Structure 1
Amino acid sequence: MLAIIGGTGIYQLDGLEVIEEHQIETPYGAPSAPVIRGKLAGQSICFLARHGQGHQLLPSEVNYRANIWALKSVGVTRILAVSAVGSLREEIAPGQLTVPSQYFDFVKGNRERSFFGEGLAAHVSTAEPTCGDLTARLSQAAESLDQQLHTGKTYGCVDGPRLGTRAESHFLRGAAGCDLVGMTNVPEVFLAREAQLCYCTLCIATDYDCWLDDPAQHVSVEQVISRYGASLERAKALVHQLIAQGDLSNEDCGCRHSLDCAVLTPEEHLSNNKRELLELLKR
């Protein structure tokens, strides 16, 4: 089952026939919002508002572990996240859509980054952190809508909530080789891999961050919001087209087997709680 994680501006999924609203308590506390399960274009879909149903949560306040655990617990196997980003490349113009393939962790705050630890040792590979199959399906959906969709790009994740300095912007696009900058996809993408979930982000470029010389092009909240509406509609149309293409399941995908050789702690040394967690992650 596919889940949509809605970022800025997406607090519900248009056209979703709601079947059930799950109020889930997880071992890590409450998720950002209830998990909504329903039908869209004949497909079973879940939806979760990353920042809360009224956008109450800063990026650093999102309970990423609870969000991923909650989605996994209701049978989700694939996640498409939708996020607003700044563009670090002139060819990715504000308003355009991108599905990154790589992530650069520039988060310095204390976000909980892993399900593992405290008696359960594991190390998953994140060399290729996103799902190639889901990316290909998104590209197919974009082509059918005659939409431009950038792929093969790198997303640099920062703490926020402040908008970055020019020095940081130039570092990310230069030394770090990033094409996009955002505040929310780390550790979300890596937790999804630990949970053996296929994961991709549909990024909406709202601005050029602040690396351009022209101060009028430097990112501001006013600029982000004013440019976001039309782009958001294109992103929603792409999500609907992806779902309308049919069955999104792919149990043979490598993302669904990321724990096969990753766990180091023998089962007999696991506590009951850690054994239950591992059973959930391996589903």
Structure 2
Amino acid sequence: MLAIMGGTGLHDLPDLTVVERIQVDTPFGSPSGDIVQGRFHEHNVLFLARHGAGHRLLPHEVNYRANIFALKAAGATMLLGFSAVGSLALDVKPGDLAMPEQYFDFTRGKREYTFFGNGVAAHVSTAKPVSAALVDWIDDTAHELNVSFHRNLTYACVEGPRLGTQAESHFLRQAGCHLVGMTNVPEVFLAREAQMAYATVGLVTDYDCWLDDPTQHVSVEHVFQLYGATLAKAQNVLKAAMQRPLPEPESEIRSALKGAVLTRDTELTEVQWQWLDTLKR
């Protein structure tokens, strides 16, 4: 089943026929809100607003582990996120849609990055952290609709909540990053630990602050001047994609924990065995 993670401005899915609202707690705490299960055009989906109802959670306050675990427990095998991003590349323009396929973690250790630890040891490969099948699915749809779209990009995740300095913006560009945002890490890596195919649609709102022209520098006011139109584009692409067959998650993603867990089953507590069994589904 496909899960959709709504980012800034996407607190619900218009046209979603709601079947059930799932209130859930997890071994890792509470998710950002209720999981909405319903029918969206041709497919059954799950939906969760990353920042909670009314956008009440800052990026470092989101309980990413609980969000991913709750979606997996509800049956998700794929996760498509939506996020506002800044552009670090001149050809990736504000108003465009962009899907990263690599990640650079520039956060500061305030977030819980893994399900593992505290007696359960595992090392999961994230060399290619994004599902190419999900990116292809959105890419094909965007081009059919003639929407400006970019892929094969690297997303730098910063801690926030402040907007970055010009020195940081230049550093990330020199490191080979094309996009900057605050929310996709550790979400992308936790999805891999949960054996869920993951991709995110970035809604490009600004050029961050690397350009010399100060009128191009990111501000919350400038972000929201463009964001509504960009969100409408993203929603149109999603609606069109949802009228096509869903992609199949890659087998290597759906078996990511095979050989990655080092702790023997006999060493696990009942609680550890139960949450690990959920991740392996």
| Interval of TM-score (by shorter of Structure 1 and Structure 2) | over 0.9
Provide the TM-score with structure 1 as the length reference.
0.97
Where do residues 70-149 of structure 1 align in structure 2 (5 Å cutoff)? Answer: 70-149=70-149
Give the Cα–Cα distance (whole angstroms) in 1 for the partners of residues 178 and 249 of structure 2.
31
Give the Cα–Cα distance (whole angstroms) in 2 for the partners of residues 60 and 42 of structure 1.
34
Match of 2:188 in 1: 189
Selected match of 1:275 from 258, 273, 276: 273
Cα displacement string for residues 138-177 of structure 1 (whole angstroms, at most 9, x for unaligned residues): 1111122122210000000001000000000000011x21
Does the 8 Å CA contact 1:133/1:253 hold for their aligned counterparts?
Answer: no
Cα displacement string for residues 114-135 of structure 1 (whole angstroms, at most 9, x for unaligned residues): 0001111000000000001111
2:220 is the counterpart of 1:221 = yes
Give the Cα–Cα distance (whole angstroms) in 1 for the partners of residues 109 and 124 of structure 2.
22
Tell me the secondary structure at the aligned position of residue 101 of structure 2.
Answer: strand
Does the 8 Å CA contact 1:141/1:245 hold for their aligned counterparts?
Answer: no
**Aligned amino acid, residue 233 of structure 2:** R
In the TM superposition, residue 251 of structure 1 has moved relative to its aligned partner by 5.3
Aligned CA RMSD, in angstroms, stands at: 0.9
Provide the TM-score with structure 2 as the length reference.
0.98
Does the 8 Å CA contact 2:158/2:180 hold for their aligned counterparts?
Answer: yes
Does the 8 Å CA contact 1:8/1:83 hold for their aligned counterparts?
Answer: yes
2:277 is the counterpart of 1:260 = no
In the TM superposition, residue 109 of structure 1 has moved relative to its aligned partner by 3.3
Does the 8 Å CA contact 2:133/2:249 hold for their aligned counterparts?
Answer: no
Match of 1:237 in 2: 236
**Aligned amino acid, residue 245 of structure 1:** R
Share of identical aligned residues, percent?
Answer: 53
Q: Which runs of 5+ in 1 are unaligned?
A: none
Match of 2:159 in 1: 159
Give the Cα–Cα distance (whole angstroms) in 2 for the partners of residues 276 and 239 of structure 1.
34
Give the Cα–Cα distance (whole angstroms) in 2 for the partners of residues 184 and 278 of structure 1.
24
Cα displacement string for residues 54-76 of structure 1 (whole angstroms, at most 9, x for unaligned residues): 10000000000000010001001
In the TM superposition, residue 247 of structure 1 has moved relative to its aligned partner by 3.4
Cα displacement string for residues 88-121 of structure 1 (whole angstroms, at most 9, x for unaligned residues): 0000000000110000000013200000011110
Match of 2:50 in 1: 50
The 1:146/1:253 distance shift into structure 2, 3 A limit, reads farther
Tell me the secondary structure at the aligned position of residue 244 of structure 1.
Answer: coil
Give the Cα–Cα distance (whole angstroms) in 2 for the partners of residues 247 and 184 of structure 1.
25
Give the Cα–Cα distance (whole angstroms) in 2 for the partners of residues 42 and 171 of structure 1.
44
In the TM superposition, residue 252 of structure 1 has moved relative to its aligned partner by 4.9
Cα displacement string for residues 156-200 of structure 1 (whole angstroms, at most 9, x for unaligned residues): 0001000000000000011x2100000000000000000000000
Q: Which runs of 5+ in 2 are unaligned?
A: none
Where do residues 55-70 of structure 1 align in structure 2 (5 Å cutoff)? Answer: 55-70=55-70
Give the Cα–Cα distance (whole angstroms) in 1 for the partners of residues 245 and 224 of structure 2.
33
Tell me the secondary structure at the aligned position of residue 239 of structure 2.
Answer: helix
